[in-house]
Structure 1
């Protein structure tokens, strides 16, 4: 139908012109036009068509209800659901799915219980919805309830359940379900294969991931990407990039996730040259301005110290998300470009993007690396009062680092002791490191004592305190610390450096 074709090309005006010119319009035409408006983002026009529709079918009611759910208008969708003259199982399933899409988990669970008739799609929607909303344990319990009720699982069921096992690292249960999949002959489906590869990869069983991949008869881009991502997750970045090269050689075109995983592996290797090659391929395939590919490129360039190119890539992304802003702010902060980070934050606020915990960490890091103590204090005060952002232990550690670098050691110690949560070893080590920088033995000894209470054999604390005593010519204290280390069997952790050799 031409109306659907125009809508798919986002030519809504042409679709509406054709629709209004039709001398006779059946229910299918009205439904298609409504769906086209929703696909083109025009909810009000879809509602206008629905209100003017002469004979509404169940599909008509379901289409407009789904539209309200799609745009987050849950109350309007609920009102339509209650007004429907007839509600079949598809309507109930759509409402359950819509609740999950809008984070209304309890409403979805309650509606599921009220359903007069459930089919396998009802169960699948519940299992997938619970898993996607962080209630993975409940999703697995519901799967066993489904099996006990005599409902036969489908391919979709198994994909959702294996994904849930992967998210919870339930290897033993995943292996059992893998056996069921083989028994029922579902093991050759690409999406089931991809979920199994992810399960074994998440559980650090890359040999089994590769075995599943090799046994797959039809390897589409989803299967290749699952293997590529699995190797990256297990820090085998060279193998991940080999998988990416192999899929390209075999003519399997990478998708958004393939490029993101390949670029993340380049980032893990700090290999900017290979990252640029993959970026070139992404541009050729039309992913130049893709937000997820762009975010990975920002992280790669900034991690490798190429801040200017990272910021340039950020500017080219059309639909920036919170990750785009945070990646650029954190990248600038880590390389001493504090003013750039603060400028980006101002632009972020003006663009109407709400900051989160990662933004806060990036801003404090920017202040720390650029010596901006007063700005750090103002940010800390602002976010402490900003209830949408939870001030976590890592933020206190960042603030301690800012104060420590600026020589405000007593203030940093007071901040730690007045924290609403107990400080961990890393917070005290941050203070101890600052004491070493400013040769402050009094605060250092108190910080070392606090670390000793938390972890009696912390080699980092011993070494820093010993170095402080040595710089103050207190050799008897140096000997005492070294004797204590020897007695407890504490060994200094060896340092390491990453060096990239180019041909």
Structure 2
């Protein structure tokens, strides 16, 4: 009865039962101490301990452990020294406690003073060293151990992996298997984590086979580690398969798949997993929060991992101001935090913010990495900061150990190209130390259309198609360029070539999400149930646009038709259909957010600026390049994107 009440934390009922004992024994008192400690009532537990007529070793050890659980190392140590004959368990409990409070040297003193050391004591030292990042000491002690069990090996594998030595962790795992020690679920979890971090796909597959043979696939943590392993190795479909084959799905397994989808760019799938978690009452933990309101409601917003997710989420949802607020409130910031806010500012054209944040980052001695450089160069590209871009690229290439990759050269080409330095951009590409690839030439081709340099565009396109004959982006960009120049014969030839090679142009589509439902639009689409209302709203907007002096830019109509038909096709581009739908289905004065899979049409950009002024609403459009925030006839990009 005492045990039952304690499990339910019914302490009053427990006392009633104990009162009926004429002479409560040590075991009953010890259970009561455990119950009080479990509810954080250390003072009551100590009072009960001192009232005990007789105390055995188990009771002493329970009280010492209780003090440590209630974060009172001083009282725990006092009781240890008061104990008549500390057992090996007492010594080991104190060693664990010292490590728990970061007092590594004191733990070492106790370990050396132990009259008898059993395997549990050695394991406690190994585990403590690993938890406090003292890996050299852990390895040295591990090699000195007179004997080892599965706990010893698992502590070593997990410790090495958690401290950035995943390759060494896998070597220890292989040594363990050769020694004949059978791994348990915890061992396999650590091994799979090391495989994921070291991207050791072949060994991870072997471990998966061992999991299946040993029947450990029912373990939640093994299952979650398998998902993480496959996701890290870019086998996201296999990770998804493991998830759906799992017998039990809790927050750990759901979070593993959620993180995996994010790592592989499958953000909509990730949000679906998050929604399923909430619908099935699987409450997210600090690692799985992707929804700002939920994070704030459950008071996890100050955690660095949650904070990083919130910065990224707000940035990707067009709320860069909110992302900055979250960033500033975070007490702890790591390189991921800084990169998230710098890249977020870059995507929103806030180049000066990004540069100021980078200066703060350097002042706080946070070392930038390759992602930092990508974000900074992107900021320069979207904010027309040519000199700043040149200086940053030169600084990172000459004064840091960061290995520059094709993405960085492509970003620099974009900086030069957008600023009209096309010849310099071409020389930069031809003289880069890395072998050029299609990404770099595509950056140049895109800039050529912006500045109407058809000759260079054709050269860039030829280089791209030599490297990647079926690159649809090169054909589409060149075709659109020719269409805007009314070179319809060249457009026709390119389209025939695309058809013969089986290259399909990705159709432009835009969408808005209203009350959790996604509404998708294609240009000229009339399949939506509210199409009649949408087109009526667009006709009204077009009338208002003309009153403000708007003239359609026919260069953005990519069909060889009469001018009147060109104008009509521009009026019904997918992004305008999405805006019109949002205007008739949302509360007046609220912000409208539209997503588009391709770069926003230049004519639509001009029109939506004026539409935002006409309806007195903020309209946010996220295209494939960046966010555009339209307010009162002005766009945040400054008409430069």
Same fold (TM over 0.5): yes
- Residue 405 (1) aligns with residue 385 (2): yes
Any conservation in 1 of the 2:442–2:460 contact (CA below 8 Å)?
Answer: no
- What is the aligned partner in structure 1 of residue 185 from structure 2? 155
Any conservation in 1 of the 2:406–2:437 contact (CA below 8 Å)?
Answer: no
Segments of 5+ residues of structure 2 without an aligned counterpart are 1-30, 478-505, 515-641
SS across alignment from 2:161? helix
The one of 426, 447, 455 equivalent to 2:436 is: 455
Counterpart Cα distance in 2 of 1:63 and 1:227: 37
Any conservation in 2 of the 1:413–1:431 contact (CA below 8 Å)?
Answer: yes
Give 1:27-38 correspondences, 5 Å limit: 27-38=57-68
Change (3 A) 1:302 1:418: closer
Give 1:105-254 correspondences, 5 Å limit: 105-249=135-279, 251-254=280-283
- What is the aligned partner in structure 2 of residue 68 from structure 1? 98
Any conservation in 2 of the 1:200–1:209 contact (CA below 8 Å)?
Answer: yes
1:83 CA displacement: 0.8
SS across alignment from 2:110? helix
Task: Give the structure with the larger strand fraction.
Answer: 2
- Residue 366 (1) aligns with residue 353 (2): yes
Change (3 A) 1:297 1:132: same
Any conservation in 2 of the 1:103–1:133 contact (CA below 8 Å)?
Answer: yes
Any conservation in 2 of the 1:407–1:434 contact (CA below 8 Å)?
Answer: no
SS across alignment from 1:163? helix
Counterpart Cα distance in 2 of 1:392 and 1:106: 27
Counterpart Cα distance in 2 of 1:423 and 1:327: 17
Counterpart Cα distance in 1 of 2:392 and 2:252: 50
TM-score (norm 2): 0.58
- Decide which moves more: 55-64 or 403-412: 403-412
Change (3 A) 1:324 1:9: farther
- Decide which moves more: 203-212 or 390-399: 390-399
- Residue 502 (1) aligns with residue 481 (2): no
Change (3 A) 1:223 1:329: closer
Change (3 A) 1:54 1:331: farther
Change (3 A) 1:20 1:305: farther
- Decide which moves more: 454-463 or 491-500: 491-500
1:87 CA displacement: 0.4
- What is the aligned partner in structure 2 of residue 267 from structure 1? none
Question: Which protein is bigger by CA-based radius of gyration?
Answer: 2
Counterpart Cα distance in 2 of 1:68 and 1:128: 20
Counterpart Cα distance in 1 of 2:393 and 2:306: 42
CA RMSD of aligned residues (A): 4.2
Counterpart Cα distance in 2 of 1:128 and 1:216: 23
The one of 270, 279, 285 equivalent to 1:256 is: 285
Any conservation in 1 of the 2:92–2:124 contact (CA below 8 Å)?
Answer: yes
Change (3 A) 1:334 1:51: farther
Any conservation in 2 of the 1:256–1:287 contact (CA below 8 Å)?
Answer: no
1:302 CA displacement: 3.4
Instruction: Deviation per CA, 1:62-92: give whole Å up to 9, x if none.
Output: 1111111112221111111111111000000
Any conservation in 1 of the 2:166–2:194 contact (CA below 8 Å)?
Answer: yes
Change (3 A) 1:380 1:31: closer
1:210 CA displacement: 4.3
- What is the aligned partner in structure 2 of residue 486 from structure 1? 462
Instruction: Deviation per CA, 1:209-245: give whole Å up to 9, x if none.
Output: 4444444444444334434444444433444444444
Counterpart Cα distance in 2 of 1:420 and 1:236: 32
Task: Give the structure with the larger helix fraction.
Answer: 1
Change (3 A) 1:396 1:419: farther
Change (3 A) 1:245 1:435: closer
- What is the aligned partner in structure 1 of residue 585 from structure 2? none
Any conservation in 2 of the 1:407–1:438 contact (CA below 8 Å)?
Answer: no
Change (3 A) 1:238 1:295: same
Segments of 5+ residues of structure 1 without an aligned counterpart are 264-274, 339-363
Any conservation in 1 of the 2:406–2:434 contact (CA below 8 Å)?
Answer: no
- Residue 303 (1) aligns with residue 303 (2): no
1:311 CA displacement: 5.7
Counterpart Cα distance in 2 of 1:297 and 1:397: 20
- Residue 390 (1) aligns with residue 367 (2): yes
SS across alignment from 1:502? strand
Counterpart Cα distance in 2 of 1:101 and 1:50: 23
SS across alignment from 1:117? coil
The one of 76, 80, 92 equivalent to 2:122 is: 92
TM-score (norm 1): 0.71
1:208 CA displacement: 3.8
1:501 CA displacement: 1.6
Any conservation in 2 of the 1:310–1:328 contact (CA below 8 Å)?
Answer: no
Counterpart Cα distance in 1 of 2:288 and 2:133: 29
